[in-house]
Amino acid sequence: MALITKKIKGTEDVLPKESYRWQFIENIMREEARCYGFKEIRTPVFEHTELFARGVGQTTDVVQKEMYTFDTKGGESVTLRPEGTAGAARAVLEHALDNEGLPIKASYFVSCYRYEKPQAGRLREFHQFGIEEYGTQSPVADAELICVAQSIFDRLGIGQLRLELNSIGCPECRAKYNEALREYFGQFKDRLCQTCLSRLERNPMRLLDCKSPEDKEIAKDAPKITDYLCEECEQHFTEVKSYLDAAGVEYTVNPTIVRGLDYYTKTVFEFVTDCIGAQGTVCGGGRYDGLIEELGGKHMPSLGFAMGLERLLMVMDSQGIVIPDNNQTSLYIATMGDAAKVKAFELLRSVRECGLAAETDVVGRGLRAQMKYADKIGAKYSLVLGDNELEQNCASVKNMETGEQTSLALDKSFAEKFSVLCLTDNNSFLN
Ligand code: ATP
Ligand code: MG
């Protein structure tokens, strides 16, 4: 029979044999976030459309072209989240988290939905890890934010990542800068793409983020925001850089980085790599001091970043970084006969209580096929249980890699002794 359907274009399955890779990077992200004082926030996968229209910004690619928006049966317009910031900000406001003291520090894992042209590193459903901080204007927070991302990359063993840093100032510096941009790009009206033309009046800074090669070329000689920063923004930027210097985080200042959201202010940054092709940005973030007000809250300077998990895994693959598989089965018990099956069931329970993964046959294979299966799933140890072993109340545990055998009594001490054996072997392996 033919399959009734297949997965939707631009979506991916993570299969049981590869999920350990995701768990590994997610655990490191969770741990780093915790070390920097961020606690996880979980928000719904869909929200009222106006949240993203306002929170991401009307003039962004995401809102103009990429959102999955639909009307519910009740006639409401809802949108699958294209990113994690707007939902987190909404929740912070809705639950008045500022009453519990500032700053508010949150981290998140989200699936995101964007109607884009699927290609390597660009999906329609993808996953992000991000952090958000609300209620601080200190440059220390900007530098700390960047350090969280850097620490994660360091712990994952990722190299050849460039941190590109910029400040896009506050609305005041931006007013003058936007004028300069309008004047500059105005000269090229006949060459700019349609989208850029429509943004020239409303948000000319977006033109610096255009992906069309011709527009990119024009953007190269555009005025630089760093020449238009007011004194306060300049000072803020200088301090962010000095904290990064103090932390030993390397960066290059790139005045063309403007980021996707409309409400970014001051610090913006991206971590970029050349080793996975065109979609080389693995993390983007910065400060959005105007966002909370835009969503109806009081003035609350905020900042955050998001990193794409699919792209990160691609980078790790391309750099040959081996991810340890902690999901491997420690013990496979092969059985012969019904009495052995019962005994195996009892032993397995005690081994699992020690936190080790253990399995036995559940599809009725013969002994040889069971051993073959143990080998196939990469079990670290195997044990054969038959009438002999039951009679002697003792069996040999075999290290599948070295072939070494250790005899263990099949009594209450079994699980503990097996755990010790695993640990000792592991340690000698490490030495
Ligand atoms: P790009 O310039 O590549 O379109 P973006 O500016 O739209 O990225 P952000 O909104 O800042 O991306 O999202 C943060 C991170 O999420 C990106 O740096 C990237 O790693 C990842 N990301 C964004 N869009 C996608 C996508 N369609 N598929 C896979 N990962 C994505
Ligand atoms: Mg994009």
pLDDT of residue 431: 46
Per-residue pLDDT, averaged over 157-163, amounts to 96
Give yes or no for a contact between 332 and 379, defined as CB atoms under 8 angstroms apart: yes
Give yes or no for a contact between 315 and 274, defined as CB atoms under 8 angstroms apart: no
**What are 386-422's pLDDT values in tens digits?**
999 999 999 999 999 999 999 999 999 999 999 999 9
**What are 196-240's pLDDT values in tens digits?**
998 898 889 989 988 889 999 999 999 999 999 999 999 999 999
pLDDT of residue 58: 86
Higher per-residue pLDDT: 325 or 151: 151
Find out whether the beta carbon of 262 lies less than 6 Å from any atom of ligand 1. no
If one residue of 126, 315, 316 were mutated to test the ligand 1 pocket, choosing by the most ligand atoms within 8 A of its CB, it would be: 126
Interatomic CA distance for residues 90 and 296, integer angstroms: 9
Q: Identify the residue whose C-alpha is closest to ligand 1 atom 5.
A: 260
Per-residue pLDDT, averaged over 159-170, amounts to 96
Query: In 3D, which of 64, 22, 81, 60 has the Cα closest to residue 309?
Result: 22
Find out whether the beta carbon of 12 lies less than 6 Å from any atom of ligand 1. no
> Which ligand gives the minimal distance to the CA of 211?
1
Q: How many residues does the chain have?
A: 431
Interatomic CA distance for residues 284 and 307, integer angstroms: 6
DSSP helix, strand, coil percent of the chain (3-state; round to 5): 40, 20, 35
CA atoms within 13 A on the CB side of 25: 29
pLDDT of residue 161: 97
Please provide the DSSP assignment of 295-327 as one string.
Answer: TT-----EEEEEEEHHHHHHHHHHTTPPPP-TT
Find out whether the beta carbon of 110 lies less than 6 Å from any atom of ligand 1. no
Q: How wide is the angle at C-alpha 87 spanned by C-alphas 196 and 84, nearest 5°?
A: 65
Residue 114 burial by Cβ neighbours in a 10 Å radius (0-12, 13-18, 19+): buried
Find out whether the beta carbon of 84 lies less than 6 Å from any atom of ligand 1. no
Cα of 7 from ligand 2 centre, angstroms = 22
For all residues of the chain together, what is the average pLDDT?
95
Backbone angles phi, psi at 170, to 5 degrees: -110, 175
For residue 87, is it left (φ>0), alpha (ψ between -120 and 50) or beta?
A: alpha
Find out whether the beta carbon of 281 lies less than 6 Å from any atom of ligand 1. yes
pLDDT at 45 over 70: yes
CA atoms within 13 A on the CB side of 106: 23
Q: Which range, of 59-63, 69-73, 269-273, averages the lowest pLDDT?
A: 59-63
**What are 315-345's pLDDT values in tens digits?**
999 999 999 998 899 999 999 999 999 999 9
pLDDT at 429 over 60: no
User: How far is Cα of residue 21 from the mean position of the Cα atoms in its chain?
Assistant: 12
Give yes or no for a contact between 169 and 229, defined as CB atoms under 8 angstroms apart: yes
Please provide the DSSP assignment of 400-419 as one string.
Answer: TTT--EEEEESSTTHHHHHH
